[in-house]
Structure formats: C-alpha cells, structure tokens
Amino acid sequence: MCPKGGRVTAGEPAERSVLLCYNWGMDLFSGVENLNGVGPKTAEVLKKYGIRTVRDFLYNLPRDYENFEAPTSISEIRPGKVVVRGKIDSLTTRRARRRNLSVTEGVIRDKTGAIKVVWFNQSYRVRQFNPDKEYYFTGNFELKNGRYSLISPSCAEVSEINPMTGLTPIYVAHGKLKSSDFKRLMGKSREMFAQIPDMLPTAQKGERKESLFRAHFPDSLRSIKEARDYLAYEELFELILAARLNRLENEKLKAIAVPFEVGKIRKFVASLPFKLTNAQRRAAWEIFQDLEKPVPMNRLLQGDVGSGKTMVAALSALEVTLAGGQVAILAPTAILATQHFDSLSRILEPFGVKVALLTGATKQKVELKKQIKSGEVDLVIGTHALLTDDTEFKNLTLVIIDEQHRFGVEQRQKLMLKSPAGLAPHLLAMTATPIPRSLQLTVFGDLDVSILNEMPRGRKPITTTILKEVETREKLYPKITEVVEAPHRQQVYWICKAIEDGNSGMVSEVTSVKARARKLSTLFPKFRIEILHGKMKPAEKDAVMERFSQGRIDILVSTTVVEVGVDVPNATLMVIENAEAYGLAQLHQLRGRVGRGEAASFCFLLTSGDFQPSRRLRELEKSTDGFYLAEVDLKMRGPGEIYGALQHGALDLRIASLSDTRLIARAQADVLKFLQNPENMLKYDELMRGITKYQQITTLN
C-alpha cells in the first residue's frame, strides 16, 4: 500500500523492493499522521519525541543493525557475543531481592541443545514469543550467579529477517513504541521511498532515496556504510549552509562604528598590575578591528579556564565607552555577574567608566534602570534581569555574553534588540569550553573566532589524580590537612552530585552535599566547613561565596553550582566525588576552579567500586589542555555537551560525526559553490525549509 490517499501503479510486480506510488503529494513536511499505519495515538507518541513530519519519520534512522547471518548451534556455543537460532519456552517473571528489579527467564532450544536466557526489567518478554516459532537471539553468553546464561539478548522472528543478508535494523525505543514497532511502521511505508526527491544539488540522481531506503532496509554491510556516509554528508551540508546564511544575513545589518582609541587603550594596559599575554593582545586587536566596521561584530572568544577572557572583555568595553556607547555583559549566574562587577569596576572606573550591577537581588532597580535608560551608566553587568522589557538603553553598542551556550536564542536576541532603532549591537560571545576546530567550521560557522591559548604568567599546572574512595583516608585526608594548615591557609572545594540524602533517582552510593559536610565536620572538627547548592536562595549563595572568597571557609562542599566563573585564587584543592557521573568538559570546568593563584594546586577524582577508570578520567588525569580535551570529548561523546543544552533545542545530529574532518571539508566546499548562485535558494525549497532549525541553533546575532 501507499501512504494514506495514494495508490500503487497498476501492473507493478508485488515482489519489487520499492513500489511506485502516485496521487500522493510526497509533502515531506506534512504531519506524521498521514503515514500508513499511524493512528492518532501513535502520532501523539511520535510527536512527543520530535517525530512530527513525514521527513522526521524517514530520518529516524536505526541506531544499529543486528547481523543474524551466521548463528551458532547451541552445542558449540562459547562465552562472549553470540547469535543463536531456536524456539523459546518456560518463560517466567519473578521479582528480585533488589527493589524495582524483575527477572524474566526462559529456555532457548535448537536441535543440538538448550541454554538459559535472562532479561532484567523486561517482563513483556513473557508475552512476546510464540513457542511454535523460531527466533534469532543475540547477546552475551556469560556466567551469571554460578550458571552460564544468554543475558538480555535482542531478538527477531526468523520469518522477518532477510535470509540473503541476515541484517535487521535496531531503532531507539520512544515511549511505548519499541524497535519492532518502528520496523513495522517503516515496512508499511516502504513504497514511499520511490517518491523521495533529491534535496542537494551535489547529489547523484536518486542518491538520497536510495540511501534512505538502504539505511532502513539494508541488503549488505557495505550498503549500510555507503547510505550512512551520504546521509551524514547531507546533514553536514545543511548545518554548514545554515551557518553561512546566518553570516550573510549578519553582514546586511548596520552597527555603530567604534574608532580605535590607541593612546587611551595603551594607557589603560600600562596601568594593569600584570602583563597581557600575546593571545590576549591578539584577541583584543581582532575585536578592535571588528568594532571599527559599520556592520555588527559577531565574534566568539574561546579560552580555557583562567586564560584571561574577562580582561579582553574589559578592553572591548573600554573601547566602546570611550566612544560614548553603552555595553551590557550578560552572565549566567548572580555569583559570576557580581564577580565581573567587582573586577571590572575596580579597573575601569579610574578611566571614567561608570559600571553597574543588575541582578534579581539588586536593590533600587527602578532608579538604576532610569540611569541605564538615560545613558548615565556606561557598562551594566547582569543576569536575566537585563532581559526584562523595562530595562532600556540609550545607546547599547556592544553586548558581551559570558558562557553563551547557557542562553537560548530568544534570550540572546531579546538583549540584542535593545540597541537603537535600525542598528544592531556588536556581539562578543565568550566560552570557557574550548571549541574543536570541526565545530568552528559547522555549528559556529557564522562566527569569527578568537582563541586564548596561553595562560597568564605564574599559573602552575594542576596535578590531577584518580583515587578510589577506599583510598581517601590514606591519601586524600592528609592532603586536605596539609592544604588548610599551610602557612597561608589555603582552601578546598568538595563537589557532590546530590543535595540531600535519598534524592529521587540517585543510587545509594551517591553521598549528598549535606551528608558529606557532616562527615567532614567529624573528620576535621577544627576546619570551617559550609555547603552550597542550587536550591539555596540567591542571597544565601552569594553570602556563602562571599565568605569563601574572603577566606572565611576552609572546605566548601558544593554541587556543580561552582562550575562556572567563580574565582578564588586561594582555593588550591578540588575533590570531585563520583567523578564517573560527569562529562569530560564539566570535569575540566570544575577542575578549573583551582589553579587560579600562584600556589601549586591539586584535583582528586574519586571513583567508587572496583571498576577501572574510564578513558574520560584517564585523559583528564594526564592533560590540563582544554583544547586537547575538547577534541577528545567530541570523539567520545559527540557535540551535545560541548555545545550545551540550548533552550530552543539541542543540535541533535542524526548521523554525522563532527570529528569527520574529511566529510566536513567536502561539505564546506560544496556549500560555498552552492552559494555562488543565489537562485539556488529558490530552486531547492526543501533544503531551505529543512535548515531553519539549524539556523536557529547556530545563530548568535
């Protein structure tokens, strides 16, 4: 059958792998409910998981493929990954001693013997099988509770598998829809693939529909690879095109040109109590050149933790205020906003710059907002309070967004629209998470990038050690005593995953902030120990950080609320409990809270259990180079963590790898050729509609 409302062309042989349809518009952007076999309830589930259109459905690609081509007879089975073919019986489900764990067991038989099979928390397996039918089972055959069993295998009915290939796709389950449901729905829509039009000007005729068809209905491992290679290229083309179009749109906007005040900038730099790094000088010069242009700057300043981004921001702000413009700095937390206010007002106010702080806790907001509107305030530093409708500027010329990935498009644009009518402000986005080169070419392709790859003089590398929790008494506690009782009495961060005991979803091995603080108070009764977490009121958090900054707290037990921006040079020891629970980028950010002064600093990554440390922890132990770690993180985890969970939607690449520099280079070259002919924008309607999501995600301005 064809999709709803369509018909099969008369006379076409039924056995053809792809049937031809007509009388169906093949509107890939029509609702998923138009698909054959998709009723209202199924459509509701699909839409809940982002599969809203026919196009979304077609691009819901298998996460993996099972190969049932060469099953092993049970008499010859050996421990390890195996495929067996047989019938199953004696299925039962029981509750295990551990809470919330069900165990489903049965017996698989073929002509040569029988083995036990076990699934955990999959009680539906009891109803899944017909004892008279044969199935393929694939999983690990291993020793469990003193007996060899096939553990949690995936399975497929023999009659459903292509006997020529033995391949079957495995889809990610969404709610009540299992992989088998997606296979069934895809089978009902099989004939529509013949109607899929080509989308890219660079594609060979029919390459897209053939690739999509082979991704869902594979006939060989080679065809799967070829199909996925093309679809990855297609995805990168869309992403890079979106970023390039954003750049072209930005170049049409007008901004206030800010002249370079070379003499006053030199005087300011000479007044600083430290020497700028060459990287800071280079980044500042690139920004000054952008500010002189009558089009808005759109620049990303990326630098590792402690590389001096705030000082580059200060130079940029001074340049703008010298020309009579106003500057807004948007920070993700009140703690970071306050820190910026303290440091920037100290160095800029002697040069005539009036600096103000605007957060939710700011008193006399009405009066402050009047001063901002009248232009009395040159530089305002704030949190989301800057985004409110009643925060108006007289002459907003430069917007600086710190940790830009923590703000969604709508939030950023709300601030950008506060510039004078007909003008766009210059934009400087800052991130302490180094961006891999491949992300610069794709996700951030509309930005100019400045890199701070030098650390200020005097900074010492942080010594990082992976430590099992059972070793803390012997190796960690003495170090804490040594640090806190040092002549200059240094300070300690201790990071925990949970706030309180018994948090929902937390496993028992996770020690909470409150429990850890109680234990440390017992172990170190003379030390001043306090807690910090996200559920505290802003004023409470600020007060704790103020005491920590002033050296009135020896050990701060905290959640990751301290991850971004807190600068306490006297803190020299970081302990991260349950380190395996964090991503590499976040671990590197947390470690960056120490090592900000001249004293030697240390980071301990605590692990539980007897498992060997992951590659993530080993990489962190051996390197403090954020740019190297970012490349490692991209290869291991994909772009999600690096780019951040955006409020308007994640990057969510279906298949492309942003570490595939070869494919990125090819797609980038083809995009540039495509844009040489503006009429292409009208000829390829689906491509233009399809990249809208990427344009929203990648744009900063």
User: pLDDT for 588-608, tens place per residue?
Assistant: 889 988 988 878 899 999 998
Q: What is the pLDDT of residue 113?
A: 93
Buried-state track 635-649, b at ≥16 Cβ within 10 A, e below 16: eeebbebbbbebeee
Residue 5: pLDDT over 50: no
Residue 12 has pLDDT above 90, yes or no: no
Band of the pLDDT at 699, cuts 50, 70, 90?
A: low
Pairing between strand 135-144 and 80-95?
antiparallel
Contact 465, 601 (CB under 8 A): no
- Residue 254 three-state SS: coil
3-class state of residue 633 by DSSP: helix
- Give the C-alpha separation, 32 to 48, whole Å: 12
Residue 648 host element (H or E) = none
pLDDT in tens, 114-146: 999 999 888 889 998 999 999 999 889 988 777
Other beta carbons within 10 Å of 192: 27
Contacts of 249 (CB under 8 A, 6+ apart): none
348-402 pLDDT per residue, tens: 999 999 999 998 878 888 999 999 999 999 999 998 888 888 999 999 999 998 8
H runs (alpha helix) in 609-660 = 615-622, 626-637, 640-643
User: Taking 60 as the threshold, does the pLDDT of residue 512 lie above it?
Assistant: yes
Please give the Cα distance from 590 to 576 (Å, whole number): 8
Output the pTM of the full model. Answer: 0.68
| CATH number of 462-623, picked from 3.40.50.800, 3.40.640.10, 3.40.50.300, 3.40.50.2300 | 3.40.50.300
Instruction: Taking the CA atoms of 511, 512, 515 and 519 in sequence, report the sign of the dihedral they define.
Output: positive
Q: What is the mean pLDDT of the chain?
A: 84
Those residues whose C-beta lies under 8 Å from the C-beta of residue 114, and which sit 6 or more positions away, are: 74, 107, 108
- On whether the CB atoms of residues 60 and 80 are closer than 8 A, the answer is no
> Under a CB-based contact definition with an 8 Å cutoff, are residues 573 and 524 in contact?
no
Domain ranges of the chain: 1-63+165-192, 69-160, 264-452, 462-623
What would the mean pLDDT of 657-668 be, rounded to a whole number? 80
CB atoms within 10 A of CB 71: 18
Cβ pair 672, 617 in contact under 8 A? no
Q: How far, CA to CA in Å, does 369 sit from each of 332, 391, 394, 396, 423?
A: 20, 6, 11, 13, 21
Q: For 138-161, what is the mean pLDDT?
A: 86
User: Which stretches of 255-388 are DSSP H helices?
Assistant: 262-271, 278-291, 309-322, 334-348, 365-374
CA–CA gap between residue 699 and residue 691 (Å, rounded): 12
Per-residue confidence (pLDDT) for residue 109, from 0 to 100 = 95
Of the ranges 52-61, 406-415, 433-442, the best mean pLDDT one = 52-61
Residue 25 has pLDDT above 50, yes or no: no
Q: What is the pLDDT of residue 476?
A: 95
Residue 605 to residue 467: CA distance in whole angstroms: 6
Residue 303 falls in which region: left (phi positive, over 0), alpha (psi -120 to 50) or beta: beta
Higher pLDDT, 226 or 416: 226
Beta bridge partner(s), residue 86: 135
Pick 572 or 147 by higher pLDDT.
572
Per-residue model confidence (pLDDT) at position 98: 64
Query: Band of the pLDDT at 26, cuts 50, 70, 90?
Result: low
Residue among 181, 162, 131 nearest 170 (CA): 181
Residue 293: its pLDDT value, please?
95
> CB–CB of 391/369 below 8 Å?
yes
Contact 497, 577 (CB under 8 A): yes
Alpha carbon distance 264, 682 (integer Å) = 50
CA–CA gap between residue 264 and residue 252 (Å, rounded): 31
For residue range 282-324, what is the model confidence (pLDDT) as tens digits?
Answer: 999 999 999 999 999 988 898 877 788 999 999 999 999 999 9
Q: Which fold has domain 69-160?
A: OB fold (Dihydrolipoamide Acetyltransferase, E2P) (2.40.50)
pLDDT digits (tens, 9 = 90+) for 528-573: 999 998 888 877 887 898 899 889 999 999 998 876 656 788 999 9
List, for residues 27-50, the tens digit of each pLDDT value. 888 999 989 889 999 999 999 988
Identical fold, 264-452 and 462-623 = yes
Of residues 107 and 507, more confidence is placed in 107
Can you tell me the distance from the alpha carbon of 403 to that of 309, in angstroms, rounded to the nearest whole number? 11
Contacts of residue 544, Cβ cutoff 8 Å, sequence gap at least 6:
530, 531, 532, 536, 553, 556
Give the SS3 label for residue 419: coil
| Alpha-helix runs per DSSP H in 455-537 | 477-484, 513-523
* Least confident range of 152-156, 214-218, 342-346: 152-156
pLDDT at 18: 35
Residue 13 has pLDDT above 50, yes or no: no
Q: Tell me the average pLDDT across 417-438.
A: 82
The tokens of 147 are what?
A: 């007996």
DSSP state at residue 186: H
Per DSSP, what are the bridge partners of residue 80?
141
CA dihedral 612→613→614→617, nearest 10 degrees, is: -170
CATH (residue range 264-452): 3.40.50.300
- Which has the closest alpha carbon to 154: 128, 136, 130? 136
- How many of the other CB atoms lie within 10 Å of CB of 79? 10
Token pair 């430069």: residue? 398
